[in-house]
Amino acid sequence: MATSPAPTPNTPRFAWLRWLGGGVIAFIVLIQFSIFWLPQTNPPVLSGPTWPNAEAEAIARKACYDCHSNETVWPFYSKIAPISWLVTRDVVEGRQKLNFSEWQQDGGEEGSDLAKMVANGKMPMPIYTITHPEARLTGHERVVLVEALTKLGVTVPTSSVATTKTMVVTQTITSELAATAARNYRGSGEITLVELKRKGEHLFFAVRFTDGAEVFVNGLTGQVAYARLQSRPQNN
pLDDT of residue 3: 56
Does residue 181 have a pLDDT over 70?
Answer: yes
Start-end of H helices in 64-164: 83-97, 108-119, 126-131, 139-151
Reference 210, options 234, 235, 233, 186; nearest CA is 186
| 72 vs 118: which has the higher pLDDT | 72
Q: Is the pLDDT of residue 59 over 90?
A: yes
- CATH 3.10.450.40 residue window(s) in the chain: 175-228
Q: 49-53, 83-87, 177-181 — which is least confidently predicted?
A: 83-87
Sequence letter at residue 193: L
User: Is the predicted pLDDT of residue 109 greater than 60, yes or no?
Assistant: yes
Highest mean pLDDT out of 129-133, 151-155, 174-178: 129-133
Architecture of domain 175-228: Roll (3.10)
Highest mean pLDDT among 14-18, 48-52, 119-123, 232-236: 48-52
Backbone φ and ψ of 73, nearest 5°: -95, 110
Q: Which has more pLDDT, 16 or 30?
A: 16
Label residue 8 by pLDDT band (50, 70, 90).
low
Higher pLDDT, 58 or 167: 58
CA distance linking residue 215 with residue 199, whole number of Å: 15
Most confident option among 67-71, 100-104, 183-187: 67-71
Across 47-74, average pLDDT: 92
Alpha-carbon separation of residue 68 from 63, 103, 109, 156, 230 (angstroms): 9, 10, 15, 18, 45
pLDDT at 227 over 70: yes
The more confident residue out of 85 and 145 is: 145
pLDDT at 65: 95
- The SS3 call for residue 192 is strand
Question: What percent of the chain is modeled with pLDDT above 70?
Answer: 69
Q: Is the pLDDT of residue 36 over 80?
A: no
What average pLDDT does the segment 75-103 reach? 84
3-state secondary structure of 64: coil
Please report, as a single letter, which amino acid is at residue 155: T
